[in-house]
């Protein structure tokens, strides 16, 4: 699959690397080779896996983080159980040091369980990393998260945020799909997902599975890159990404952020809006759905200003809102719900 896929566009840090505004404005993924090459974590990883684990454990403050434990038979792929009434892993809370010890044990087993410490805020568990592991073009208020594990695969999913992800140890293979490939990726339930974000249930390494005939259409449009210690990738919001960790110990640091154009009016997530739209529109007759599609295109997704013909003081939610007006709008939305 990865051999036939297109390569994600690349640049090299120090050779025309983009500024933050360029990344956000391009709306396409970009691999930045060597962006984090000077991080201490990368230096530890280049020494050995043992050196990386030893130095990282020294900085562990003992705070517990989320960890997923997958049985060996799952092949490290996070997902659902056979009955589709639960997930194929156990959820635990462990310290970084405990997780690293377990990874060392598993590295000596021919058929090891999958272990992934997930989305841990570095400020909470490894605060000693913050000063020496920054991205120059990102604001320090953007909190980094660390992901550590062995050979674990996170199936295709999307995030609502801009994302810069940096490989600190091991190797990660990213397979990306543009947002319009959603219909070909066979996404699981929006409200019943292993790690919060809905995931694809079609295995990318099984393109001939007869249950998922459109998967090949998505794979024909896939973009792939393998990242090594010091490399980074920018993933725009809403791009589907499938992430494979390929070594006995892998670590990644990522930075999520969401620039808010409307002076802070946007909620932290729009998934609630999507779910409400499904409830409100999905069961309507075709003509009514089409009418609502036109309204949404006009008021939400179109480039035309739908309030241009209104007096500035009577544009309501279509114009600038004071904090009091914003509170009234949100109260109205709650009443509608």
Measured CA to CA, the distance from residue 6 to residue 166 in angstroms comes to 21
pLDDT at 1: 53
pLDDT at 261: 58
DSSP string for 68-83: EEE-GGGTTB--B-TT
Do residues 231 and 35 lie in contact, with contact meaning Cβ atoms separated by under 8 Å?
Answer: yes
Do residues 87 and 56 lie in contact, with contact meaning Cβ atoms separated by under 8 Å?
Answer: no
CA nearest neighbour of 252 among 152, 102, 332, 331: 152
Whether the pLDDT of residue 16 is over 60: the answer is no
pLDDT at 9: 96
Let me know if residue 129 belongs to a domain. yes
- 297 plus 202 within the same structural domain: no
CA nearest neighbour of 79 among 180, 192, 227: 192
CA nearest neighbour of 4 among 179, 207, 155: 207
- Looking at residue 89, what DSSP letter applies? S
Mean pLDDT of 296-306: 92
Let me know if residue 63 belongs to a domain. yes
Let me know if residue 1 belongs to a domain. no
Residues in the chain: 337
User: Locate tokens 């790690």: which residue?
Assistant: 195
- Which of the four pLDDT bands, split at 50, 70 and 90, describes residue 15? low
Q: Which of 215-229, 252-266, 277-291 has the lowest mean pLDDT?
A: 252-266
- 13 plus 157 within the same structural domain: yes
CB crowding 207-239: b at 16 or more within 10 Å, else e: beeeebeebeebbeebbbbbbbbbbbbbbbbeb
Let me know if residue 199 belongs to a domain. yes
- 81 plus 219 within the same structural domain: yes
Measured CA to CA, the distance from residue 245 to residue 116 in angstroms comes to 10
Residue 85 is part of a domain; what is its CATH number? 2.60.120.10
Domain that holds residue 296: 270-335
- 46 plus 89 within the same structural domain: yes
pLDDT at 322: 87
Let me know if residue 265 belongs to a domain. no
Residue with more model confidence, 18 or 335: 335
Domain final residue, candidates 228, 257, 286: 257
Let me know if residue 264 belongs to a domain. no
- 187 plus 290 within the same structural domain: no
Helix axes 271-281, 286-296, angle to 10 degrees: 150
- 122 plus 243 within the same structural domain: yes
- Looking at residue 160, what DSSP letter applies? S
Question: Who's near 135: CB < 8 A, 6+ residues apart?
Answer: 35, 36, 164, 166, 232, 255
- 252 plus 314 within the same structural domain: no
Mean model confidence pLDDT for the chain: 93
Question: Who's near 269: CB < 8 A, 6+ residues apart?
Answer: 160
Let me know if residue 47 belongs to a domain. yes
Domain final residue, candidates 227, 257, 287: 257
Let me know if residue 262 belongs to a domain. no
Whether the pLDDT of residue 61 is over 50: the answer is yes
- 130 plus 278 within the same structural domain: no
150-197 tens-digit pLDDT: 999 999 999 999 999 999 999 999 999 999 999 999 999 999 998 778
Measured CA to CA, the distance from residue 198 to residue 155 in angstroms comes to 9
When divided into structural domains, the chain yields a total of 2
User: Phi and psi of 12, rounded to 5°?
Assistant: -120, 135
pLDDT at 2: 44
- 228 plus 309 within the same structural domain: no
Measured CA to CA, the distance from residue 104 to residue 90 in angstroms comes to 19
- Looking at residue 1, what DSSP letter applies? -
Measured CA to CA, the distance from residue 49 to residue 44 in angstroms comes to 8
- 217 plus 306 within the same structural domain: no
- 63 plus 176 within the same structural domain: yes
Measured CA to CA, the distance from residue 74 to residue 150 in angstroms comes to 13
Residue with more model confidence, 273 or 63: 63
- Joined together, the tokens standing for residue 144 give 């980094």
207-240 tens-digit pLDDT: 999 999 999 999 999 999 999 999 999 999 999 9
Residue with more model confidence, 103 or 15: 103
Report pTM. 0.92
Domain final residue, candidates 226, 257, 288: 257
- 64 plus 141 within the same structural domain: yes
DSSP string for 263-329: TT-S-S-SHHHHHHHHHHHTTS-HHHHHHHHHHHIIIII-SS-TTTTS-GGG-GGGS---HHHHHHH
pLDDT at 287: 96
pLDDT at 290: 94
User: Locate tokens 């050196």: which residue?
Assistant: 51
3-class DSSP state of 99? helix
């Amino acid at each position: 699959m990865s051999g036939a896929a297109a390569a994600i566009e690349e640049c090299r840090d120090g050779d025309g690397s983009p500024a933050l505004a360029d990344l956000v404005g391009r709306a396409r993924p970009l691999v930045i080779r060597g962006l984090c090459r000077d991080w201490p974590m990368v230096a530890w990883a280049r020494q050995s896996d043992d050196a990386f684990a030893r130095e990282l454990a020294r900085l562990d403050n003992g705070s517990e983080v989320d960890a997923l434990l997958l049985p060996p038979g799952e092949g490290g792929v996070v997902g659902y159980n056979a009955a589709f009434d639960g997930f194929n892993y156990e959820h635990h809370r462990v310290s970084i040091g405990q997780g690293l010890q377990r990874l060392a044990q598993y590295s000596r087993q021919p058929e090891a369980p999958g272990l992934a410490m997930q989305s841990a805020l570095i400020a909470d568990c490894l605060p000693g990393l913050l000063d020496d592991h920054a991205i120059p073009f990102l604001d320090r208020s953007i909190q980094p998260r660390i992901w550590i594990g062995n050979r674990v695969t996170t199936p295709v999913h999307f995030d609502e945020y801009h994302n810069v992800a940096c490989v600190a140890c091991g190797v990660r293979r990213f397979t990306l799909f543009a947002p319009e490939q959603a219909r070909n990726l066979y996404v699981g339930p929006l409200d019943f997902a292993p790690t919060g974000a809905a995931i694809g249930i079609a295995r990318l390494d099984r393109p001939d599975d007869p249950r998922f005939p459109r998967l090949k259409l998505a794979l024909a449009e896939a973009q792939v890159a393998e990242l090594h210690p010091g490399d980074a990738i920018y993933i725009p919001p809403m791009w589907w990404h499938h992430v494979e960790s390929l070594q006995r110990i892998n670590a990644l640091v990522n930075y999520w952020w969401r620039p808010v154009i409307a002076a802070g009016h946007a909620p932290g997530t729009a998934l609630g809006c999507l779910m409400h739209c499904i409830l409100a529109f999905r069961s309507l007759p075709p003509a009514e759905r089409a009418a609502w599609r036109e309204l949404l295109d006009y008021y939400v997704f179109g480039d035309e200003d739908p309030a241009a013909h209104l007096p500035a003081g009577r544009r309501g939610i279509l114009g600038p809102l004071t904090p009091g007006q914003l509170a009234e709008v949100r109260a109205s939305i709650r009443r509608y719900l």
